[in-house]
Amino acid sequence: MKKIKLFTAAALALSAAFALTGCGGADDAATDTAADTASGTDAVYRTIDEIKESGEINIGVFTDKHPFGYVDENSEYQGYDVYFARRIGEDLGVKVNFVSTEAANRIEYLQTGKVDIILANFTVTQERAEEVDFALPYMNVALGVVSPESAPVTTLDNWDDSKQIIVISGTTAETYLTENYPDIPLQKYDTYANAKNALENGNAAAWANDNTEVIAYSLQNPGYVVGIPTLGSSDTIAPAVSKGNETVLNWLNDEITALGAEKFFHEDYEATLIDTYGPDYEDQLVVESGAAAQQ
């Protein structure tokens, strides 16, 4: 009996300690407001009115994916996605809280309502559309494969099993290769920086990723070529919101349509992407007013 009491006391102490850390750690105003709304209703997400009322929007972006979402040497968020995110904040009249996401956890962030919008180079796919809701696209992509110039990979047919291809977990490239080329051994990395290091260290024969990425990579890294510039069907990149969050989705769609009139995404390209892809790719990559989706 005495021991059971002791155990209960220990359990109480444990929960008390957790409650204490709760007070110490929850200094993040953004997550506090999100928690309030989440406990108030059944939905995990916040409506557009709730966002406006709180005066802050949480947007998930990459912090290590130059030139789409990255942090510069002055701790400022920069890039194509970030430029758009700032505009969203401006037009909503709220402050933008940038949340650092990884390719592998973008869906979880939306499913749990920890961010309101994901703007992290998110390619629209059928499977993802079952988990999250995509707004109108703002960019085109396909897959590409980059490999060293000395041993260029130009086809994936008749693959030599002893060689591996690098992919980042949770990306379209991983899904595509797993489905269409199940025999090719994949080398998976969680972060973009690690995948890049692996290719440069010669850990694998090639790296499959979005073609924008591999084109930019080969332009910047002499010695690497894009042997396969378009692989699979061409896809689009779009903002994503939590499944069922119609108010934010509709607001985003109206916003993207309206921004087309002022060629906002061309402006965005010229501000953030032109140094990486040059002027030649502008019309191929940029989508205004979600045009590609309506064709």
Least Å distance, CB 232 to other proteins, is 25
Q: By C-beta, is 14 or 258 nearer to other proteins? A: 14
- Among the listed residues 125, 221, 247, 284, the single contact to other proteins using CB under 8 A: 221
Least Å distance, CB 93 to other proteins, is 23
**How far is Cα 271 from Cα 269, in angstroms, rounded to an integer?**
5
- Per-residue x/- mask for other proteins, residues 56 to 75, rule CB under 8 A? -------xxxx---xxxxxx
- Among the listed residues 10, 129, 151, 274, the single contact to other proteins using CB under 8 A: 10
Q: By C-beta, is 168 or 292 nearer to other proteins? A: 168
Window of 112-120, 206-214, 233-241, 266-274 that interacts with other proteins by CB under 8 A: 112-120
Amino acid identity at 76: E
Least Å distance, CB 169 to other proteins, is 11
Least Å distance, CB 262 to other proteins, is 28
Please, which residues bridge with residue 95 across strands? 56
- Among the listed residues 54, 113, 248, 287, the single contact to other proteins using CB under 8 A: 113
Q: By C-beta, is 53 or 108 nearer to other proteins? A: 108
Strand order in the sheet with 117-118: 95-100, 56-61, 117-118, 240-242, 132-134
Least Å distance, CB 255 to other proteins, is 25
| Interacting residues of 71 by C-beta distance below 8 A, sequence separation 6+ | 63, 64, 77, 78
Q: By C-beta, is 76 or 262 nearer to other proteins? A: 76
Which of the residues 131 through 190 are near other proteins (CB under 8 A)? Answer: 190
Least Å distance, CB 149 to other proteins, is 15
| Interacting residues of 141 by C-beta distance below 8 A, sequence separation 6+ | 123, 210, 211, 212, 234, 235, 236, 237, 285
CA–chain centroid gap for 264, Å, is: 20
Q: By C-beta, is 203 or 257 nearer to other proteins? A: 203
- Among the listed residues 56, 57, 88, 101, the single contact to other proteins using CB under 8 A: 101
Cis peptide before 148 (omega within 30 of 0): no
Scan for tokens 């850390």, then name that residue: 21
By CB under 8 A, residue 53 contacts other proteins: no
Which of the residues 258 through 287 are near other proteins (CB under 8 A)? Answer: 275-276
Six token digits for residue 52 = 């406006």
Interface contacts to other proteins, rule CB under 8 A: 3-4, 6-7, 10, 13-14, 17-18, 21-22, 24-28, 31-32, 34-35, 38-39, 44, 63-66, 70-75, 78, 99-102, 104-105, 108-109, 111-114, 190-193, 196-197, 200, 220-221, 275-276
